[in-house]
Amino acid sequence: MDQTLAAAHRQQLLAQMPENAVALVYGTSEVTRSNDTEFRFRQDSDLFYLTGFNEPDSVLLLRKGQSPESVMFVRPRDEMMEIWHGRRLGVERAPKALGVDAAYSVEELAQELPKLVNGFDVLMHRPGFSKREDDTVAQLLQRLRGGQRQGLAPVHRVQDLRQPLHELRLHKSAAELELMAKACQISADAHSRAMQLCQPGMFEYQLEATIKHHCAMNGAVEMAYGTIVGGGDNACVLHYTENESALKDGELVLIDAGAEYQGYAGDITRTFPINGKFSDEQKALYRLVLEAEKAAIAMLKPGVAIKDANAKVLQIMVGGLVALGIMHGDVQTLIETEAYKKFYMHGLGHWLGLDVHDVGDYHSADRSRPLEPGMVLTIEPGLYIAPDADVDPKWQGIGIRIEDNIAITEDGHINLTAAVVKEIADIEALMAG
């Protein structure tokens, strides 16, 4: 992330903090994959938002109204560690490179923090989020309370930093929206590529590889979450990530994949026929999901809530399931009793940003928060007919989801993932070409 963007985020957060408050954010450490190998490092999203810094074991301290106002703790330079494990920015270079007022070695954290926090009334952090941050804060509070003889004074209040910070992260700036548009464009093109390369007999993980290859070749080092490639009834497992089965002629495949570009996530789902041609049953169910998805997106503008769009989705999908003979009874009653949850068991959408399920208050479990300009969300209705569902066998084992990423504007919305086709005729044409 650009240094000026991160600096703007710090200024916005400082403006939201109470007077005489400090904020502490402890970044992520490396995570073991097995024995002595690690997963690729991914910075904590809050720390990344505020610093753009991508090294493990980094800590940010913001001291409102005092100098130095922004302080970073980073790993110290270490010749042997750098030869074996990778370069480090180090303490000396940190202030200039990160645009902060001061830097210390993270090894001096316990020793320096009490001095830097002494005299402040309010300590803000993310209680219960990570053991490292909790332990650091507990030790700090203890030290301040017991340090009267050294001139230390206890802070009066510990306050959750997430409320103001995540409210900021929920509202994307123009610069952030540009990065998100790029993440979405790369993701959309990767889905188009997978449609073109899909063949019966391929393994799901091979189709996954075509997606990842496209993303990497276009500047996305990592995916935003575990890619889902589910052929046939694997599509009915919502978080299926084994991706190990062969793709069968005559079945659909559901791909849920998104690139991570400079920290920001794309999150697209497309479902298409493995052999390039939808069957009649597949078409009938696909049309329902597509109609619902398009109707939900068409509603999105400031003032409308995800909950409102979901009500529309339920009217269309439950009405359609009854018309197809998959559900029986009165549509309104089936909606009120949530009988549809056998076939549509997840929410319609979620905030999207640095995290795929991004931070930000939804106001209620059914997501009643009115949308505002700068918010980015997914719309992703789906229908999943389990292989053992009590329906005509011709419907069994079909799973369909269609997911797009939508940015809310002053007077409506922009579909950031419109570049990948979703109409039946367009999918078949792309796959035939």
- Binding residues for ligand GLY (CB under 6 A): 225, 256, 267, 350, 356, 380, 403
233 touches, from Mn ion, ligand GLY, none (C-beta below 5 to 8 Å by class): none
Residue among 57 and 222 whose Cβ is closer to ligand GLY: 222
> Which H or E run contains 37?
strand 37-38
355 touches, from ligand GLY, Mn ion, none (C-beta below 5 to 8 Å by class): none
Least Å from the CB of residue 86 to ligand GLY: 30
225 touches, from ligand GLY, Mn ion, none (C-beta below 5 to 8 Å by class): ligand GLY
Residue among 114 and 231 whose Cβ is closer to ligand GLY: 231
Across the strands, what pairs with 430? none
Question: Amino acid identity of 296?
Answer: A
Q: In whole angstroms, what is the distance from residue 137 CA to residue 115 CA?
A: 14
Helices within 146-238 (DSSP H only): 162-170, 174-197, 204-217
Q: Is 357 a catalytic residue?
A: yes
Residue among 159 and 378 whose Cβ is closer to ligand GLY: 378
Q: Is 244 a catalytic residue?
A: no
Q: Is 401 a catalytic residue?
A: yes
Least Å from the CB of residue 256 to ligand GLY: 5
Q: In whole angstroms, what is the distance from residue 345 CA to residue 334 CA?
A: 14
Least Å from the CB of residue 323 to ligand GLY: 27
Least Å from the CB of residue 226 to ligand GLY: 8
Characterize the bridge pairing of strands 21-26 and 122-125.
Answer: parallel
Residue with tokens 């190998």: 37
CB neighbourhood size of 353 (10 A): 26
Residue among 49 and 225 whose Cβ is closer to Mn ion: 225
Residue among 293 and 380 whose Cβ is closer to ligand GLY: 380
Least Å from the CB of residue 307 to ligand GLY: 17
Q: Longest C-alpha distance within the chain, in Å? A: 81
Q: Is 166 a catalytic residue?
A: no
Residue among 136 and 417 whose Cβ is closer to ligand GLY: 417
Rounding to the nearest 10 degrees, give the CA dihedral for residues 272, 273, 275, 279.
-150
Q: Is 9 a catalytic residue?
A: no
Q: Is 264 a catalytic residue?
A: no
Question: Amino acid identity of 282?
Answer: Q
Q: Is 380 a catalytic residue?
A: yes
Least Å from the CB of residue 308 to ligand GLY: 20
Residue 414 C-beta-side C-alpha neighbours within 13 Å: 15
Write out the E strands in 298-381. 376-379
Out of 133, 189, 267, 308, the residue judged to bind Mn ion by CB under 5 A = 267
Report cis status (omega within 30 of 0) of the bond before 56.
no
**Number of residues in the chain:** 433
Q: 318 CB contacts (<8 Å, ≥6 apart)? A: 327, 331, 334, 335, 340
Active site residues: 36, 239, 256, 267, 346, 350, 357, 380, 384, 401, 403
Residues that bind Mn ion (CB under 5 A): 256, 267, 378
